[in-house]
Amino acid sequence: MFARAVIFLGPPGAGKGTQAKLVASRFNVPHLSTGDMLRDNVSRGTELGLLAKPVMERGELVSDALVLRMVEERIARPDCRNGFVFDGFPRTVAQAEALDGILAKQGIGAPAVIYFNVAEDVLMRRLTGRRTCKACGEIYNIYDRPPKVDGRCDADGGELVQRADDKPEVIRERLAAYDRQTKTLVDYYRSQGVLHEVDGAASMEAVTASVFGALSKFEARA
Ligand code: AP5
């Protein structure tokens, strides 16, 4: 199907990761979460991880230069030939402009951008309730999507853990960083005619239906 870049844009906790996994799996393309890539570097203690760790712990954005180097290296790999789903990237105008250049250089057309619109009170509940499987990365929520067995992944029994940056004081800073640096990308992509807004506060199934509906419209236009 789909030789293109898809971007999932929205505030922390909007459901980008939850939906990106489904889309990437359906179209058999990589799910590229810059947050996951950075956390992987942190846990392996790489040079990038050592630089990113204190920034992420404060809830701020990692520098554009570091993120762009990581992303450019990742999408040059052969598994990205038929497209990819970005979750949490780009997050600044500088990242978006650099991505435009990278996509043009690689002969990939304009991205399809799905914007998840969700109010802040919903985001706080989602983020404080999130638990993630240490083994497979499956995302749960103790309020809205609890596992069958407390603390264990339904798929593989892996331990469910809370992310270090899902503490209320760090969440507040992440939301402020979104308002300061990322929200402006909604207008950036709307003005390019590639933005599709979904009601991210709806049920997971309803959001999934809206996302796939939006993507098939993009495909019909391509
Ligand atoms: P990152 O990992 O990207 O986190 P984020 O953008 O803050 O987004 P989240 O992963 O918190 O939320 P999500 O929208 O994916 O929601 P999810 O599906 O999990 O970034 C972390 C940090 O890394 C940043 O703060 C920054 O420091 C750094 N970083 C990353 N990328 C960067 C970049 N490009 N530039 C610079 N720095 C960067 O869902 C949340 C919860 O809600 C889950 O429990 C889920 O089960 C539940 N849920 C989802 N959908 C629904 C629904 N419809 N109804 C009910 N519950 C739902």
Respond yes or no: is residue 125 known to be catalytic.
no
Atom number in ligand 1 closest to CA 36: 2
Task: Determine if the peptide bond prior to 90 is cis (ω within 30°).
Answer: yes
Q: Which residues of 142-173 are buried (b: 16+ CB within 10 A; e: fewer)?
A: eeebebeeeebbeeeebebeeeebbeeebbeb
Ligand 1 center to residue 149 CA distance, Å?
24
pLDDT of residue 218: 84
For the chain, domains (ranges, CATH) are 5-29+82-221 (3.40.50.300)
Atom number in ligand 1 closest to CA 131: 44
Ligand 1 center to residue 57 CA distance, Å?
14
Q: Which of 163, 167, 183, 190 is catalytic?
A: 163
Q: Give the pLDDT confidence of 63-114 residue by residue, as tens digits.
A: 999 999 999 999 999 999 889 999 999 999 999 999 999 999 888 888 999 9
Residue closest via CA to ligand 1's atom 50 equals 15
- In the predicted model, what is the mean pLDDT of residues 12-24? 96
Strand partners, 160: 133
Q: Output the pTM of the full model.
A: 0.94
**182: three-class secondary structure by DSSP:** helix
Whether the per-residue pLDDT at 121 is higher than 70: the answer is: yes
- In the predicted model, what is the mean pLDDT of residues 129-149? 95
Instruction: Output the six-digit token pair for 166.
Output: 């899902």
What distance separates the 2 farthest-apart alpha carbons in the chain? 48
Find the helix or strand (DSSP H, E) in which 44 lies. helix 34-44
Q: Which of 4, 39, 53, 91 is catalytic?
A: 91
Torsion region of 90: left, alpha or beta (phi above 0 gives left; psi -120 to 50 gives alpha): beta
